[in-house]
């Protein structure tokens, strides 16, 4: 039945009644065939199904995927991870929640693993190749230090809160040829070779850099307007796409759901949007089970015909909000949060199974990837 519904929906998407074939085009005109096919697949399920997803930390890339399987007997379709950073100083455990790569496990023992940045990132590439071969859809992000510190920094370099870059520093960062801009390129060059390996292997990536930019916590946060975050995003897009030809990337602009909690605010989506010509998917992060209808509807209004996703979630949505917000293409639970899904009425494992067993949730067993193309069985 799912195969029939998807075939009908795909036909409606790709073929108009009188106007002939319609193409779903990535924002990168040179996007790879694999990236194009993935995007078409995501459009084909829009409004009907949501892909289950799980984040896994770079130093322990199977732990939370295994938790999902042990609880549900199913595998998520979307497999996520992070290029990460090495946390320095005596307070490393304070930043475990984002998964510093030099920790054995970001949640739990928090011991130094003594592995090099290069080894960890190469291991990540190797893991991705295995997961992709299973039919997983890969999404990657990057908790990155401030560019002058490259890959090794105190966690406070990333979680700057009130110590975000001044307007003068931001201008230097986003101005071609300055010292800081050159440092930024060198920092980007530390992950580009790994993305190139994935490109050359024909693996499309849902790429979501500089997430939650409308919040107030990361160094790249809270810079609205034409010369703010928008300029950093476009600079990144151009460097990865036009300079380095990373045509396997689909660009996921990943906000935080707006909130007005004092000292932990997240501003309106539109103030940080770089424009439809630079974004394939618009995503929101929702924590504390705060699934307001406006989080979905306001993002869809900004997106127009583009896709939506739940880039990160802490607690899974309840069935009511899940079905009243139908255009989320996927959800991805953040790492260890999969162990903390208890509600007022349900224990954690029951809450996980409730969403994984929901008719609109797609899991790996329902994906046909036998010929290297995503479709429903």
Show the domains of the chain with their CATH numbers. 2-376 (3.20.20.80)
To the nearest whole percent, how much of the chain has pLDDT over 70?
A: 93
Two tokens at 56?
């896994």
How far apart (Å, rounded) are the C-alpha atoms in residues 72 and 351? 10
pLDDT for 157-186, tens place per residue? 999 998 999 999 999 999 999 999 999 999
212 an active-site residue? Answer: yes
Q: Say what the pTM is.
A: 0.94
Paired residues of 367 in beta bridges: 376
Q: Identify the pLDDT of residue 14.
A: 42
Give the mean model confidence (pLDDT) for residues 261-284: 96
Residue 275 CA, distance from chain mean position: 18
- What does DSSP assign to residue 62? T
Q: Identify the pLDDT of residue 162.
A: 85
Among 229, 299, 293, 309, CA closest to 269: 299
Q: Which candidate in 196, 312, 349, 366 is catalytic? A: 312
CB contact at 8 A, 282 and 303: yes
Where does the pLDDT of residue 105 fall: very low under 50, low under 70, confident under 90, or very high at 90 and above? confident
Crossing angle, helix 33-45 and helix 2-14, to 10 degrees? Answer: 110
Q: Identify the pLDDT of residue 93.
A: 82
312 an active-site residue? Answer: yes
CB burial class (10 A; 0-12, 13-18, 19+) of residue 256? buried
Q: Identify the pLDDT of residue 248.
A: 98
How far apart (Å, rounded) are the C-alpha atoms in residues 270 and 275? 9
Q: Which candidate in 30, 176, 212, 349 is catalytic? A: 212
How far apart (Å, rounded) are the C-alpha atoms in residues 357 and 317? 13
- The phi and psi torsions of 64 (rounded to 5 degrees) equal -85, -25
């Amino acid at each position: 039945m799912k195969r029939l519904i998807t075939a009908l929906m795909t036909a409606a998407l790709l073929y108009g009644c009188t106007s002939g074939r319609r193409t779903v085009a990535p924002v990168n005109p040179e996007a790879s065939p694999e990236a194009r096919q993935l995007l078409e697949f995501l459009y084909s399920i829009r409004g009907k199904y949501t892909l289950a997803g799980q984040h896994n930390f770079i130093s322990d890339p199977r732990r939370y995927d295994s938790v999902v399987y042990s609880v549900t007997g199913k595998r998520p379709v979307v497999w996520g991870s992070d290029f990460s950073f090495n946390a320095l100083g005596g307070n490393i455990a304070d930043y475990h929640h984002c998964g510093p790569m030099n920790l054995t496990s970001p949640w739990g023992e928090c011991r130094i693993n003594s592995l090099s940045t290069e080894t960890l990132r190469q291991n990540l590439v190797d893991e991705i190749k295995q997961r992709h071969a299973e039919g997983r859809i890969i999404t990657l992000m990057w908790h990155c230090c401030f560019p002058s510190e490259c890959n090794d920094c105190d966690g406070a370099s990333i979680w700057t809160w009130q110590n975000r870059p001044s307007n003068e520093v931001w201008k230097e960062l986003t101005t071609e040829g300055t010292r800081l801009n050159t440092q930024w390129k060198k920092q980007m060059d530390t992950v580009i070779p790994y993305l190139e390996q994935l490109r050359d292997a024909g693996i499309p990536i849902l790429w979501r850099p500089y997430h939650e930019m409308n919040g107030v916590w990361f160094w790249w946060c809270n810079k609205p307007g034409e010369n703010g975050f928008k300029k950093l995003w476009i600079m990144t897009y151009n460097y990865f796409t036009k300079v380095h030809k990373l045509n396997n990337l689909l660009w996921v602009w990943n906000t935080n759901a707006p909130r007005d909690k004092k000292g932990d605010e997240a501003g309106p989506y539109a103030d940080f949007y770089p424009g439809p010509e630079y974004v394939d998917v618009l995503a929101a992060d929702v924590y504390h089970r705060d699934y307001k209808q406006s989080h979905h509807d306001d993002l869809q209004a900004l997106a127009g015909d583009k896709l939506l996703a739940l880039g990160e979630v802490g607690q899974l949505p309840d069935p009511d909000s899940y079905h009243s917000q139908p255009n989320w293409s996927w959800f991805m639970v953040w790492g260890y949060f999969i162990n903390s899904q208890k509600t007022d009425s349900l224990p954690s494992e029951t809450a996980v199974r409730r969403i994984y067993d929901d008719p609109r949730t797609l899991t790996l067993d329902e994906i046909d990837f036998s010929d290297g193309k995503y479709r429903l069985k």
